[in-house]
Amino acid sequence: MTFFLLLSACSKTGGTDPIVDPVPPLPPVPSPNVNFIRGLDLSFSPEILAAGTKFYQASQQADLLQICKDKGINTIRLRLWHSPADAHSSLREVVEFSQTLASKGFGIWLDIHYSDTWADPANQNKPAAWKNATGTILKDSIYLYTTRVMSIFKSAGISLKIVQVGNETNAGFLWNDGKVGGTYDNNWSNYALLLKEGLRAVKESDPNIKTMVHFAGIDGAEWFYNNLALQTVSYDYIGLSFYPIWHGKSLDALGTGMNNLISKFQKPIVIAETSYPFTLGWNDYTNNVLGLSNQLIPEFTASPEGQQAYTKALMDVLRKLPQQQGMGLCWWAPEWVAFKGPTATNGSSMENLTLFDFSNNGLPALTSLGSY
């Protein structure tokens, strides 16, 4: 979907001879980037939809995926846990949901956590099945597991668009074998060996799949990707998380940082995770991650209009990156509404950051993300 504004000039005529306005010619309209990723992380959807949750567009009940498709979303990101405590984010659930998504024409972006639960900068625990695996055994485990995952998707008839090897791997993954930074800053070679095995398995499965290595934030990103370069790690996309509450309130600084990454590493960048509130209120009794005005970017209010303006501004930052290397944006948990009811203490901690309001109606930012 083209998101560039088409401009046209008018000329006046008088009598039989044209009169040309004394204005300079308009600059050429940039070629649209047809590969731009307009993404949503819908990893909660199987659980939310199984609970009978209804979604709406203009107050009319509609299928969640059809709403997203109609808005212009082209890519869905899904997290995969190795052996989760319940069925959610398991390989079976993710494959089955991916089949539904693929049938509706979405590209599938697989986010492999290489853990049984959440992996992020503060948590990168090995799967329990690999608890005692180290060295060559751990290296083989990541390769064989990733190969198996790729094979199962292929057997299910799903062509993956992007595969992340690790989630928010600021300090590496599969701790402590693959831990980096701080007292582990001499451990980059070990992390790289493990990372390469996951990346190798993906490309051996299908060389057309784009691989991503994911870092949370912009501060420290150049240090991280430079160390990967020193270890000759080969991957396709730089993936960045950007949440103003944690990663800074300046979109200018974000743009400058991404420009520097592109200049140094010559790789496209995707904002792999972001969100912004449409309200500071709440819709269940689960403590929210964000609820204070000092957590906002001052120019973007916690309102549907402010959320939409933030989305447009972030897309603008990506669009202005050189050589069309800003490859896209993915909103995290846009459907994680308060689906367990208004008094649930184990519901959603981010229902004010979704792209659906407290009546589960699609918000303007969803339209902007899908149509920009």
Rounded to whole angstroms, how far apart are CA atoms 248 and 243?
A: 7
Alpha carbon dihedral 344, 347, 352, 354, in 10-degree steps, equals -140
Residue 136 to residue 142: CA distance in whole angstroms: 10
CB 365 within 8 A of CB 313: no
Question: Which is nearest to 215 in space by CA: 177, 250, 181, 249?
Answer: 181
What are the C-alpha distances in Å from 360 to residues 56, 58, 61, 194, 202?
Answer: 6, 10, 9, 42, 37
- C-alpha 310/C-alpha 147 separation (Å) is 39
Whether 273 is a known active-site residue: answer yes
Q: Within 10 A of 211 (CB to CB), how many other CB atoms are there?
A: 20
**Cβ-proximal residues to 175 (8 Å cutoff; 6+ apart), any chain:** 124, 125, 126
Tokens 């040309």 identify what position?
20
Residue in 197, 273, 335, 351 annotated catalytic:
273
Parallel, antiparallel, or unpaired for β 75-80 and 37-41? parallel
- Let me know if 168 is a catalytic residue: yes
Question: Of 103, 209, 190, which is closest to residue 151 (Cα–Cα)?
Answer: 209
Considering the candidates 168, 197, 335, 351, report the single residue annotated as catalytic: 168
Residue 215 pairs in a beta bridge with 240
Annotated catalytic residues are 168, 273
